[in-house]
Amino acid sequence: MNTFQPIIDALLDLDKQRVITLVRDALNNQVSAKDILNQGLIAGMDVVGERMEKEDMFIPEVLQAAQIMGAAVEILKPLLGEDSASANGRVVIGTVKGDLHDIGKNLVSMMIKSAGLEVHDLGVDISPERFVEAIKSKDAKILCMSALLTTTMPMMKRTIDALTESGMRNTVKVMVGGAPVTQNFAREIGADAYAPDAGSAAKAAKAMVQP
């Protein structure tokens, strides 16, 4: 049996105490923190994402799983050290200017974080200039934008234009999502990816940082 399967199973059962105990037991047995993170916790959250896409798991359960993973990662953090790939895995996320919706964006943020990437969540009502500034200061390689109102969707295009004007468009992958956003719209504005849900967003973000 996969050494990490019990951790995956406990995470899918939303059993926080069991996840924490199994993570501590694995560390006591000299299993590396990085392996526990990648092969146990992240692998478990990948399954959560797949189940969410198939509607076998719903938002409250997904949020609970992400919170359990977060608690387990806190135990591993002191042992993980600096991940050499973290710069490639830096993500800036936010809801575009004029839009104050954040539930979907927060879920995407948690799922991307659970996929092992470093997430900088700017919040809501974010102007193109603020997105560009954050990408520059964090040296982020992925920008995720959310819009829940059709009236704020043009802000996504304006942000991509601002990235182009700043000279950073070629170094940053742009992913968009939100209820009114479609694959066609993403293509029209020049985004690199469209994600219909948080599980897809996490999968797409992981694919973007793989060499």
Q: Where are the beta strands (DSSP E) in 34-169?
A: 90-95, 118-121, 142-146
- pLDDT for 6-50, tens place per residue? 999 999 999 999 999 999 999 999 999 999 999 999 999 999 999
CA distances from 155 to 9, 101, 145, 164 (A): 41, 14, 9, 14
Q: Which fold has domain 5-80?
A: 1.10.1240
Strands 90-95 and 118-121: parallel
Cβ proximity of 93 and 181 under 8 Å: no
pLDDT tens by residue, 160-192 = 999 999 999 999 999 999 999 999 999 999 999
pLDDT of 145: 98
Q: Is 123 left (phi over 0), alpha (psi -120 to 50) or beta?
A: left
What is the pLDDT at residue 87?
A: 53
Percent of the chain with pLDDT over 90: 82
Q: How far is CA 59 from CA 52, 103, 108, in A?
A: 8, 10, 11
What integer best gives the mean pLDDT of the chain?
Answer: 93
Q: Dump pLDDT digits (tens) for 67-116.
A: 999 999 999 988 876 444 455 689 999 999 999 999 889 999 999 998 88
Stretch(es) of the chain classified as CATH 1.10.1240.10: 5-80
State the pLDDT at residue 79.
Answer: 86
- List every span in the chain annotated with CATH 3.40.50.280: 90-209
| pTM for the predicted model, two decimal places | 0.82
90-209: CATH topology is Rossmann fold (3.40.50)
